[in-house]
Amino acid sequence: MRRLDTKTEQTIEKFAHEIQTLYGDDLVSLILYGSAAGTDFVPDRSDLNFLVVLKRVTPDALRKAMPLVRAWHREKIATPLFVDPEFLRSSLDVFPIEFLDMQEQHRLLAGRDILLELQISPKNLHVQCEEELKGKLLNLRRAYVETGGRVAALEELMVSSLKSFLVITRHLLRLKGLQPAREFLEILVQAEETFGISLEAIRDVHSLRLGMIRLEKSDAQALFDRYVADVEQLAACADALLREPR
């Protein structure tokens, strides 16, 4: 895990103190997950994501956090996920990608590390990978029509969808029995080698996200065409995995 900047660490520390003060003994776990617990965090751009595990999540418990939400958002803190242990245990078949990502890339801030107790089924993981890929591909096509071909809108569409496709790619590698890499570009190389495909357009969108390239209208259209083709390749890989003997 990459060391975070001082400002971000102070924000995390302040948030942890607020949550512990709000919930006291009702707090089971407080966990930082996502890019801030890994290697892809970008200060002042990436959100801070937290999982708040309470003994029981009630409307009254949620109301306690309401007065702090606006201040959290000003600090780039996403509204936390509030769950209880029973919800976690009963939802592993529905959200295997999300909970496996949290399990693999998180930082315990308070309480017990409840994520390490979770057992996630590969079968459920495969089903969600395929559903997510095809669902997001449909949404990508629909959103493309809504952009009207505007360069700024096309760039935002590609950049905002990039992370979700990276997450799914990591889990496709896991379903092949591999330990996925952590760094973005390493994951792409690993997927290309494993599935015999090229993901050059996804790599270019990553460069766009980092501000390393700029696009004119014709370039944006061409990149989107290639980007969709890469996503379609990933969907085909998910289909192929389903047909592989177990």
Contact indicator for 191, 172 with CB cutoff of 8 Å:
yes
Does 38 score more than 90 pLDDT?
A: no
Residue of 101 and 67 predicted with greater confidence? 67
| Cβ-based burial of 171 (10 A; exposed 0-12, middle 13-18, buried ≥19) | buried
Interval 140-195: pLDDT, tens: 999 999 999 899 999 999 999 998 999 899 999 999 999 998 888 999 999 999 99
**In this predicted structure, what is the pLDDT of residue 141?**
95
Q: Which residues contact 156 (CB under 8 A, 6 or more apart)?
A: none
Task: Copy the structure tokens of residue 61.
Answer: 């418990």
Q: Which residue has the tokens 């209208």?
A: 217
* Mean local confidence (pLDDT), 189-211: 95
**In this predicted structure, what is the pLDDT of residue 112?**
96
The DSSP line for the chain is -PPPPHHHHHHHHHHHHHHHHHHGGGEEEEEEESGGGSS---TTTSPBEEEEEESS--HHHHHHHGGGHHHHHHTTBPPPEEE-HHHHHHTTTT-HHHHHHHHHSEEEEEE--GGGG----HHHHHHHHHHHHHHHHHHHHHHHHHHTT-HHHHHHHHHHHHHHHHHHHHHHHHHTT----SSHHHHHHHHHHHHT---HHHHHHHHHHTTS----HHHHHHHHHHHHHHHHHHHHHHHHHHHS--
**In this predicted structure, what is the pLDDT of residue 25?**
97
Calpha distance 170→156 (Å, rounded): 23
Residue of 135 and 217 predicted with greater confidence? 135
Domain boundaries along the sequence of the chain: 6-117, 122-243
Q: Is the pTM of this model over 0.75?
A: no
Calpha distance 202→76 (Å, rounded): 26
Would you identify the CATH topology of the domain 6-117?
Answer: Beta Polymerase; domain 2 (3.30.460)
* Mean local confidence (pLDDT), 84-101: 93
Does 85 score more than 80 pLDDT?
A: yes
* Mean local confidence (pLDDT), 226-231: 96
Task: Copy the structure tokens of residue 229.
Answer: 């083709």
Does 84 score more than 80 pLDDT?
A: yes
**In this predicted structure, what is the pLDDT of residue 1?**
55
State the chain's mean pLDDT as an integer.
Answer: 92
We find that the CATH architecture of domain 122-243 is Up-down Bundle (1.20)
Sign of CA dihedral 30, 36, 39, 40: positive
Contact indicator for 38, 2 with CB cutoff of 8 Å:
yes
Contact indicator for 155, 145 with CB cutoff of 8 Å:
no
* Mean local confidence (pLDDT), 6-11: 94
